[in-house]
Structure 1
Amino acid sequence: MNIPNFLRILTNPKQLQKIDRYLLLNYPRFWVTKVHYCIYYGLLVNLILNLFVFLTINPKIIDEFIQYFIVLIMFVEAGIFIFWIVKQSLYNVEKEYGNTSSGIGLLEIIIYTLCAVIITSSSLTMTATAMYRTASLVRMETSTECSEVEVSHFQTPYKDEGQVCRSMKDFLDGSSNYNYFLPYEIHWFFHTIFLMLGIFLLVIRKYSNWATMGWIGLYVLALIIATIFLGIVLSSLSQNELSWLIILILLNIVLFFQSTSLTMRRRFDNFQFISFAILPIALGVLISSIVFGSANSSFRTNTIALIMFFVFYIFIFPLYKLILNRTLALPKE
């Protein structure tokens, strides 16, 4: 078998084509998600990239690797993710009078979440591989004290080697120290926000048009500006560290009451629909702020909080979609 044929079989195997055709003929709702392609290509790309990292990573370049190469991979993932969202928004089974049962809706949002996580997973798995491989090369353990001997393995012109060593140790034991760290936690934070925004906006886009998405973007921007302004004012007046948290709680309460009133309306209200659309985003920001602001915040606890939030959203999604369908069915003003 020559190389071109091998690459063709590897990138588009016959079994994957059979699955694609089967889903198209029997389950078009799930065919359009391209979940089979996401799983196959996601695993393939993760395998290739992580093997590359495992074989080439060097303790002397770990800092530059995470700060630059991983960021480049994240931009590629973002482009693929946005392309996938645009493709998803072209088809909505509810508009075609398809099955709208809660069970189907639950499975649908699980597939959306699975695809989104897979698409954005390479940069996270590569970071973990690089960190653990580097720790193995320098024989670092959680008990390592980052003495002069251990620090000498990390020769970087851009950062104090001691900081890199201590950051590696924090990664291994799952703790956090924001006085010194490689930006793997910043990357995790951006992944969290990106996934929250991406999945929620995907759902809303399937039930609305681009004009509504534009209004949602402006409303979110206005809320961000207002929150920052009020936070600065309250912090300067009261010197209370909880001012930002109080504002976020009040914002979620306002959005919640605006959203629940949708169930009693007899005509479509665009402003209330937009408030309902961004409620999960505001709730996600509130939960993230509580977790990040807690005294025992760490990489592991933050990851657990993210998983718990998505599990909660997955199981509440059928009700969320039921309200969406009812709202969009109301006569317009």
Structure 2
Amino acid sequence: MQFIDLKSQYRLIEDDVKARIHAVLEHGQYIMGPEVEALEIALADFVGARHCIGLSSGTDALLAAMMALEIGRGDEVITTPFTFIATGEMIALLGVRPVFVDIDPVTYNIDPARIEEAITGRTRAIMPVSLYGQCADMDAINEIAARHRLPVIEDAAQSFGATYKGKRSCALSSIGCTSFFPSKPLGAYGDAGACFTNDDEVAKRLKEIRNHGQDRRYHHPRLGLNGRIDTLQAAILLAKLPLFINEVDARSRLGARYSELLQARGAVSSEASSGKVLTPFITPGNASVYAQYTIQVEERDRVAEALAAEGIPTAVHYPVPLNDQPVFQPSLERFGTPVSARVAKRVMSLPMHPYLSDEDQTRIVDAVAKAAGLGTP
């Protein structure tokens, strides 16, 4: 059993992928070829944003977004410690101080109630992460940001395709940043990412930044990156887009079915305060793309070993919060983050992809129930 099955998807689009790759090889425009603009138009339309700017990775998208907002040395950006290193890493690489604020215990996203106390005169942006495929509480975050005249950068690396109150992730804030890493809900066959914005000036800056800061050949009004999306990756993403809506629906169905099956065995919703197994809690008005289907379990290592013995892979996202990582210690600690610390010891992700069969899913749930000491349905 595979944790993420990319081969089943490829079999459905193999001819189109090969044709699009062949077209790129024929025209030879490997950097900023016509497929890049075609992809940007299609993605902007899908998200409901005015601009999409393709970039070389989701990590570079975060970096470019902050550069476009002219955030730099001595500034602060508020974010969550319960995320992949790229979120805090890009902040720190600009000489900016990441200020880590604890998470909501049921969604695992940044807790808006804790943001305002973290704002100082040096705060330049708020960067929520839409973790595991569910958008953060963007209305509350945007309200706080507006009150303090701060931009919001959504780290939507795991939530592309998700909706929040009827709007798509990446169209919920000043700038939305996503990743097309192969394992993401919409994945390329290598690194790729994008930024989305409705601000014409920000979009102009992002386009310059991704191409060494130039607004025309050999004219550089700002510092930039070698951050362009490869034409080949754009072509592959164009081949994948027609499948994506159905895959989003499949992810939603499979995520709900996982929770129903586990709860039938005695697992509890993450609304509860305790339990041997806690299933994800999806906030009303949200639709998750379940980039990961993540539960909480007691004795995680033992449960993971029991599943591995039955040929079922698992993963942990993320075992060490960023403010406990050596690179961020000790100078960046400001606020206690006990929820992040507790959750990091208990989370475990189960196999999740749009082509997971009901039979395999039932087998996984049976194995989790047995290993975690749950009951029978």
Bigger Rg, which one = 1
TM-score, normalised with respect to structure 2: 0.26
Decide which structure has greater strand share: 2
TM-score, normalised with respect to structure 1: 0.28
Q: Which has the higher contact order (CA 8 A, sep 6+)?
A: 2
Decide which structure has greater helix share: 1
